[in-house]
């Protein structure tokens, strides 16, 4: 049976539970153990797919087409294990499954209750789809003390009773604040948080203390004493300069060692920290800066384009440059001032998006990138906008648009709700918005002698999708005559997947989201190539 590690958080949110779980996942994996990481989210949405980025940050998409919490992105980037649909669950999903079953008469006349029905369902999720993994790390979203998280905490308490303490480990992450006024580190919030956890029957085995500075041994002893945790299991985590330092920092604090010791295991081999040291070094010491403009609705929101920000950083690491993102809010962008906004940029990126607000500004920036020969990358909505720009300004279809934004336009982008996936027809719908887009991994074949084929060094690729609208295939011939090549197509030739401009140093649009597959230790070729082109544009 797998060993289960439950990660909870206390005192405040945003302490870095996701990053801690991901770093631990890497350390265990690199010592020869197989790992899965899962996330349980206490909110009532069935998944984050319909939530605004203002509420929840980015929606991360898995290979198998789940719209999930962005923490799954951290897990993938650190462990290099592709997450699955079964790795993220929400209260909403659990309740909707239970209610469906109840309506079918599945509970045989019983009263359906939080305990045992909801907790049983959570316990099923924890174990679901686990094959031969040595470790399953389960992160519980939210903060201990929240009403919403209670059923999850109760379920993991029961789980450890059902399967035995030797198979389950509880890690609790808390804040240990430093009070400037008294020049002291305070352990009380941690004590209270652990007390709260113990009141529901969970005794943490390891406490990770997030702190601005080193915790003196006396304070560690206090935490150990009051929280009933062995002193060597009081692990501190001091703010790192770059997230790539996190696995190194947790290794230095012996988190992985204590976890293995708890389970009476030994490393099968030493962890490989060299690549993390290398990229930390590159990130901290790179001086050359490349300015990339990113134009979107949510650019000022830290987590809204998390994977994209990461993928651009990875591309920078690959090219030994620091990517400086110039974030331009598309809503506020005046089309007449595009030149001013883009004055000092070496590359222009339009990310995925939904809805009409800010689209004319995006289209004006694409025109500028095309005409001034500035490297351009359009992702999903960004590619759709590039098609509209080209149709309006080069093909002279003045009313070209997307039916997502304007029903009466010429549909350069239109709704298609049947997709061919590996020979099977997948149907979408526009009456229900949750989980009905073209989601997950789809194949694209790449045209010979195209820029994209040189970048991927392959004839066919598989990338993750999350969209409802598609480029109108009827525009293919006229676009290509004017130099905009459809260089990637779906295997049945119906859906344009990639466009690129001839006679331009670097102008590519992709209908998928390459950012979800970029990893710090293996940057995505598209981002590496985009940053490389931007770097050489800068040199001109
Ligand atoms: N709104 C567009 C669509 O649904 C693009 C989505 C996206 O950029 N992810 O097709």
| Angstrom distances, CA of residue 76 to CA of 3, 86, 88 | 20, 14, 13
- Rounded to whole angstroms, the Cα distance separating 159 from 117 reads 14
For the Cβ of 467 lying below 6 angstroms from any atom of ligand 1, the answer is yes
Distance 403 CA to ligand 1 centre (A): 12
For the Cβ of 352 lying below 6 angstroms from any atom of ligand 1, the answer is yes
Angle at which helices 119-127 and 91-103 cross, to 10°: 110
**What does the pLDDT read at residue 540?**
58
Q: What is the pLDDT of residues 254-293, one digit of tens each?
A: 999 999 999 999 999 989 999 999 999 999 999 999 999 9
For the Cβ of 381 lying below 6 angstroms from any atom of ligand 1, the answer is yes
| Angstrom distances, CA of residue 96 to CA of 59, 102, 141 | 20, 10, 19
Q: In which residue are the tokens 């590619």 written?
A: 383
Domain 286-414+471-488+498-538 has CATH 3.30.465.10: no
Distance 352 CA to ligand 1 centre (A): 6
- Rounded to whole angstroms, the Cα distance separating 246 from 268 reads 22
For the Cβ of 524 lying below 6 angstroms from any atom of ligand 1, the answer is no
Nearest atom in ligand 1 to 382's CA:
8
- Rounded to whole angstroms, the Cα distance separating 101 from 105 reads 6
Q: Are the C-beta atoms of residues 413 and 471 closer than 8 Å to each other?
A: yes
**What does the pLDDT read at residue 433?**
67
For the Cβ of 380 lying below 6 angstroms from any atom of ligand 1, the answer is yes
In this structure, is the dihedral angle defined by the CA atoms of residues 447, 450, 453 and 457, taken in order, positive or negative?
A: positive
Structure tokens at 271: 């962890």
Quick check: helix, strand or coil at residue 143? coil
Q: Are the C-beta atoms of residues 203 and 228 closer than 8 Å to each other?
A: yes
User: Where in the chain are the domains?
Assistant: 3-278, 286-414+471-488+498-538
Largest interatomic CA distance in the chain = 75
- Residue nearest atom 1 in ligand 1 by C-alpha distance: 354
Nearest atom in ligand 1 to 413's CA:
10
Strand partners, 442: 463
Of 514, 533, 510, 531, the C-alpha closest to 382 is 510
**What does the pLDDT read at residue 539?**
53
For the Cβ of 468 lying below 6 angstroms from any atom of ligand 1, the answer is yes
Complete DSSP assignment for 155-205: HHHHHHHHH-GGGEEEEEEEE--EETTTTEE--HHHHHHHHHHHHTT---S
- Rounded to whole angstroms, the Cα distance separating 255 from 210 reads 13
Query: Is the omega angle on the peptide bond into residue 519 within 30 degrees of 0, that is, cis?
Result: no
- Rounded to whole angstroms, the Cα distance separating 37 from 141 reads 13
* Pairing, β 460-467 against β 469-471: unpaired
Sheet of 469-471, strand order: 400-402, 410-415, 469-471
Distance 529 CA to ligand 1 centre (A): 24
- Rounded to whole angstroms, the Cα distance separating 19 from 71 reads 8
For the Cβ of 469 lying below 6 angstroms from any atom of ligand 1, the answer is yes
Q: Provide the whole-model pTM.
A: 0.92
Active site residues: 380, 513, 515
- Rounded to whole angstroms, the Cα distance separating 467 from 147 reads 34
Hey, do 3-278 and 286-414+471-488+498-538 end up sharing a CATH topology, with the first three levels equal?
yes
Distance 14 CA to ligand 1 centre (A): 28
State which residues of the chain have pLDDT below 70. 429-435, 539-540
CATH architecture assigned to 3-278: 3-Layer(aba) Sandwich (3.40)
| Angstrom distances, CA of residue 258 to CA of 7, 160, 197, 233, 253 | 15, 19, 21, 7, 9
* Pairing, β 460-467 against β 438-446: antiparallel
Nearest atom in ligand 1 to 437's CA:
4
**What does the pLDDT read at residue 505?**
96
Q: Are the C-beta atoms of residues 310 and 283 closer than 8 Å to each other?
A: no
């Amino acid at each position: 049976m797998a060993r289960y590690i439950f990660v909870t958080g206390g005192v405040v949110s945003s302490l870095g539970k996701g990053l801690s779980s991901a770093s631990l996942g890497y350390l265990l994996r690199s010592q020869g153990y197989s790992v899965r990481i899962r996330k349980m989210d206490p909110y009532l949405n069935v998944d984050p797919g319909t939530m605004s980025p203002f509420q929840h940050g980015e929606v991360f998409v898995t290979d198998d087409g789940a719209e999930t919490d962005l923490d799954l992105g951290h897990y993938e980037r650190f462990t290099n294990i592709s997450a699955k649909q079964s790795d993220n669950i929400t209260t909403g999903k659990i309740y909707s499954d239970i209610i469906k079953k109840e309506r079918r008469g599945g509970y045989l006349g019983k009263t359906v209750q939080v305990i045992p029905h909801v907790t049983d369902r959570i316990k099923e999720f924890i174990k679901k789809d686990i094959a031969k993994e040595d470790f399953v790390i389960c992160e519980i979203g939210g903060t201990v003390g929240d009403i919403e998280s209670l059923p999850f905490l109760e379920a993991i308490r029961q789980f450890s009773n059902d399967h035995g303490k030797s198979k389950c480990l509880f890690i609790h992450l808390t804040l240990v604040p430093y009070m400037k006024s008294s020049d002291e580190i305070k352990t009380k919030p941690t004590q209270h948080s652990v007390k709260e956890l113990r009141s529901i029957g969970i005794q943490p085995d390891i406490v990770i203390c997030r702190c601005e500075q080193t915790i003196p041994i006396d304070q560690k002893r206090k935490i150990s004493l009051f929280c009933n945790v062995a002193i060597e299991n009081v692990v501190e985590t001091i703010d790192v300069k770059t997230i790539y330092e996190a696995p190194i920092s947790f290794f230095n604090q012996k988190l992985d060692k204590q976890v293995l010791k708890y389970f009476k295991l030994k490393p099968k081999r030493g962890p490989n920290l060299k690549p993390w040291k290398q990229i930390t070094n590159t990130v901290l010491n790179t001086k050359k800066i490349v300015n990339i403009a990113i134009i979107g609705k949510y650019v000022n929101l830290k987590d809204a384009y998390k994977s994209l920000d990461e993928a651009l950083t990875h591309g920078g690491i690959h090219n030994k440059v620091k990517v400086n993102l110039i974030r331009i809010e598309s809503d506020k962008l005046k089309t007449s001032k595009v030149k001013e906004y883009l004055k000092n940029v070496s590359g222009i990126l339009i990310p995925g998006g939904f809805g009409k607000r800010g689209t004319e500004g995006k289209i004006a920036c694409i025109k500028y990138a095309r005409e001034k020969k500035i490297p351009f990358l359009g992702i999903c909505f960004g590619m759709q906008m590039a098609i509209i720009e080209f149709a309006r300004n080069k093909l002279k279809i003045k009313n070209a648009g997307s039916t997502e934004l304007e029903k009466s336009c010429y549909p350069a982008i239109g709704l298609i709700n049947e997709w061919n996936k590996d020979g099977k027809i997948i149907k979408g719908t526009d009456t229900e918005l949750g989980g009905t887009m073209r989601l997950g991994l789809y194949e694209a074949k790449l045209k010979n002698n195209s820029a994209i084929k040189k970048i991927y060094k392959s004839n066919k690729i598989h990338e993750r999708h999350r969209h409802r609208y598609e480029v109108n295939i009827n525009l293919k011939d006229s676009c290509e005559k004017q130099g905009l090549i459809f260089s990637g197509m779906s295997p049945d030739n119906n859906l344009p997947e990639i466009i690129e401009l001839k006679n331009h140093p670097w102008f590519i649009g992709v209908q998928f989201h390459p950012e979800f597959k970029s990893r710090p230790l293996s940057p995505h070729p598209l981002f590496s190539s985009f940053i490389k082109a931007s770097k050489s544009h800068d040199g001109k």
